[in-house]
Amino acid sequence: MKRAVHSLSRCGAELLDRRAFLANAGTALGSIALTQLLANDRLLAQDGAHTPLRPVIDPAHPHAPRAPHFPAKAKNVIVIFCTGACSHLDTWDYKPELIARDGQPLPGNEKLISFQGENGNVTKSPYAFKPRGECGKMTSDLLPRLGAMADDICFLHSVTSKTNTHGPGENFMSTGNTLDGFPSMGAWTTYALGSENQDLPAFVAIADPRGVPQSGGNNWGPGFLPAVFQGTPFNAQEQIRYLETPASIAAKTDNATRDYLQWLNKHHREQFPGDSELAARIASYELAARMQTSVPEVADLSQESAHTLEMYGANDTENKIKAGFARNCILARRLVEKGVRFVQLFHGAYAMGEGVGNWDGHKTLKAQYDVHGPTLDQPAAALLADLKQRGLLEDTLVVWCTEFGRMPTFQKGASGRDHNPHGFTCWLAGAGVKAPFSYGATDDFGFKATENVATTYDFHATILHLLGLNHERLTFYHNGLERRLTDVHGHVIQDVLA
């Protein structure tokens, strides 16, 4: 026994020899440094299925169109984001048990505490559900025109979120992260693919006529991606500020000045051929100059026919909010028609305390939704129909989403539903998706997703897949990590692909 212990101690002493320790430590640190350098230059051997596929971007032409990872079904995307957490139970997710158990406690959750406190009893929707389209999809009377488009829609009834708070929820749906400072869906898309139109922004964010969503510019920000890939915010009512040429400057003078400035910039850039930041800045200024003519042209809705304006409800003098949103929908169609890659169209604006500006139906759900439903329904349904009749829906993916859902109960002492991230509905229409189709399901009360549960990461992975992008390989190296829209999660929802 003593010999064994003695041998072990000698062995341990050899392993812990100071010179050997320092030598091994130095070699290890050098190996780590070499690995990092090789990884940065993409020279490190990797599993081909997970090797980053970063786009090759010319700083002087950052929005030049780039090839996808594989053949894409969709060339453009329009996202209709209903901010404030639109209730799936009062729009798309038909639950007969809510009618049968109306006024009774939620089975198994009689003392349920959610975001704003204690919940009351199960409460049926104030809006009747009816079969729509040839497929007979049950949707509510709140959005009858959109419901009538059910034959063209792929419903995802089992989406989940990681948060029950609006700001982080908007962030999560738009960027895949609850925190501020991460790139949005549109930024990732234009970083990967550029745009088909070099005279318009590659990514446009169209705010509601009433204002911006709660998380504001985070919804269309670039995060740690180059700033050139952020969304450009403007709408049909208010174009980009400071874009219009002052009346005191003649068009001939303005054009001559711009040509001379372009000549100066070209020669300046040639003196610093490796300065990508300089090239990108010049490219941004040149795009801004081109936008002086391209943006007013695309936003000029006087070119639209009276029939089109009427179809969208753009001339509704009694409902100015609807008319404003209708004009935004027409603008969205005109942008993708011109080759803009990604358009994020918001319905609902943040109104502190009341929730009347968006879909946050805590206190008086019916009174609020009676306002919001008509302002969304006709314009959004017309957008879908218009894209379809023009043949644009074959190449355009339309996404309808919200940050999370609502509870099957009313809040105690109120006539509205609390926040519910455990199961809600989003939908897709257009390029590459099955329609009519319904995927996943919540339980009998619409409380939790139970069938084919889908995360928001899965939702994002599927959108990127339809654009021809592998969500696991579309990355950006930042702070020592290969960052991506879906973080380290997400699977393409294969069942919804046509």
Q: How far apart are CA 178 and CA 18, in angstroms?
A: 47
pLDDT for position 293:
81
User: What is the percent of the chain with per-residue pLDDT over 70, rounded to a whole number?
Assistant: 88
Residue 13 has pLDDT above 60, yes or no: no
Pick the range with the lowest mean pLDDT from 141-145, 263-267, 393-397, 427-431.
Answer: 263-267
7-31 average pLDDT score? 58
How confident is the model over 186-205, as a mean pLDDT? 96
Q: What tokens does 275 get?
A: 């300065």
Residue 351's pLDDT is 75
* pLDDT at residue 326 in the model: 98
pLDDT in tens, 399-433: 999 999 999 999 998 999 999 999 999 999 999 99
Lowest mean pLDDT among 116-130, 325-339, 341-355: 341-355
**Cα end-to-end span (Å), the chain:** 72
pLDDT at 24 over 80: no
Structural tokens at position 463: 């959108």
Average pLDDT, the chain: 89
In the prediction, which pLDDT does 418 show? 96
pLDDT on residue 106: 93
Phi-psi region of 216 (alpha: psi -120 to 50; beta: other; left: phi over 0): left
Query: Does the pLDDT at position 95 exceed 90?
Result: yes
Average pLDDT over residues 75-93: 98
Residue 271 reports pLDDT greater than 80? yes
Taking 50 as the threshold, does the pLDDT of residue 4 lie above it?
A: no
Which pLDDT score is estimated for 409?
Answer: 97
The pLDDT score that the predictor gives to residue 79 is 98
Higher pLDDT, 366 or 58: 366
In this predicted structure, what is the pLDDT of residue 60?
A: 85
Q: Please state whether the peptide bond connecting residue 436 to the residue before it is cis, i.e. omega within 30 degrees of 0.
A: yes
CA distance 144 to 376: 11
Q: What is the mean pLDDT of residues 210-233?
A: 95
Predicted TM-score (pTM) of this structure: 0.87
Comparing 105-109, 354-358, 486-490, which segment has the lowest mean pLDDT? 354-358
Q: Which residue has the higher pLDDT, 398 or 263?
A: 398
Is 228:283 a contact under the CB 8 Å cutoff?
A: yes
pLDDT grade, residue 36 (50/70/90)? low
pLDDT category at 282 given cuts 50, 70, 90 is: confident
User: Is 310:326 a contact under the CB 8 Å cutoff?
Assistant: no
Q: What is the pLDDT of residues 422-470, one digit of tens each?
A: 999 999 999 999 999 999 999 999 999 999 999 999 999 999 999 999 9
CB–CB of 55/341 below 8 Å? no
- pLDDT at position 243, please? 65
pLDDT reading at 5 higher than 50: no
In which residue are the tokens 């257009």 written? 430
In angstroms, rounded to a whole number, what is the distance separating the alpha carbons of residues 87 and 360? Answer: 9
C-alpha span between 284 and 381 (Å, rounded): 35
When pLDDT is averaged across residues 20-27 and rounded to a whole number, the result is 66
Q: For the ranges 60-64, 94-98, 349-353, 380-384, which has the lowest average pLDDT?
A: 349-353
What secondary structure, in 3-state letters, does the chain show? CHHHHHHHHHHHHHHCCHHHHHHHHHHHHHHHHHHHHHHHCCCCCCCHHHCCCCCCCCCCCCCCCCCCCCCCCCCEEEEEEECCCCCHHHCCCCCHHHHHCCCCCCCCCCCCEECCEEEEEECCCCCCEEEECCCCEEEECCCHHHHCCHHHEEEEEEEECCCCCHHHHHHHHHHCCCCCCCCCHHHHHHHHHCCCCCCCCCEEEECECCECCCCHHHHHCCCCCCHHHCCEECCCCCCCCCCCCCCCCCHHHHHHHHHHHHHHHHHHHHHCCCCHHHHHHHHHHHHHHHHHHHHHHHCCHHHCCHHHHHHHCCCCCCCHHHHHHHHHHHHHHHHHHCCCCEEEEEECCCCCCCCCCCCCCCCEHHHHHHHHHHHHHHHHHHHHHHHHHCCHHHCEEEEEECCCEECCEEECCCECCCEECCCEEEEEEECCECCCEEECEECCCCCCEEECCEEHHHHHHHHHHHCCCCCCCCCEEECCEEECCCCCCCCCCHHHEC
State the pLDDT at residue 283. Answer: 76
Confidence of residue 21 (pLDDT cuts 50, 70, 90): low
Tell me what pLDDT residue 269 has: 76
